[in-house]
């Protein structure tokens, strides 16, 4: 399944201008993931999604994945890190609160106030395929077992 997601700031990140913000460092992305994990433990989707780039999409994903009962209780494991299209992408693995394994790309960017959360619901099982010509990020949900590559 492919979901198109408008990514705020993508045009600026891809513009190639010297004033374009650099992708967050791996350390910044890991800190952002820790922030989102901690926020998720409150089981409050409105508070969790309030600081994200696309609030309505974040809240919708939260609910579609099983609501608060699906929130992972164990921290995700980072298995890789890359910079893609001006964003830092952490490939993470874990088990959600229902007991389902996930493998997800946690995507963060850089905005005026620091790190931005592009794909904040980290237990979706979605992979980031980049920003395309229409400044839309494509998110491909894995059709193979979601924990593959996370052993």
Residues 127-145 have a mean pLDDT of 55
CB 126 within 8 A of CB 58: no
Mean pLDDT of 7-21: 46
More confident call, 4 vs 29? 29
Q: How far is CA 87 from CA 40, 53, 60, 137, in A?
A: 22, 13, 23, 11
Indicate yes or no: pTM above 0.85: no
Structural domains of the chain ordered from first start = 2-11+22-141 (3.10.450)
Phi, psi of 68 (to 5 degrees): -65, -30
Which of helix, strand or coil describes residue 138? strand
Residue 82 CA to its chain's centroid (Å): 13
């Amino acid at each position: 399944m492919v979901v198109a997601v408008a990514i705020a700031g993508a045009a600026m990140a891809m513009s190639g201008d010297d004033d374009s913000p650099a992708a967050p460092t791996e350390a910044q992305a890991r800190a952002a993931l820790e922030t989102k994990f901690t926020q998720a433990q409150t089981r409050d989707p409105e508070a969790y999604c309030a600081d994200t780039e696309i609030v309505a999409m974040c809240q919708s994903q939260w609910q579609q994945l099983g609501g608060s009962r699906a929130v992972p209780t164990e921290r995700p494991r980072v298995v890789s890190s890359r910079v893609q299209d001006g964003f830092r992408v952490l490939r993470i693995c874990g088990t959600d609160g229902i007991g389902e394994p996930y493998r997800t790309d946690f995507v963060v960017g850089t905005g005026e106030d620091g790190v931005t959360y592009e794909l904040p619901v980290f237990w979706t099982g979605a992979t980031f395929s980049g920003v395309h010509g229409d400044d839309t990020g494509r998110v491909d949900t894995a059709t193979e077992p979601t924990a593959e590559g996370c052993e």
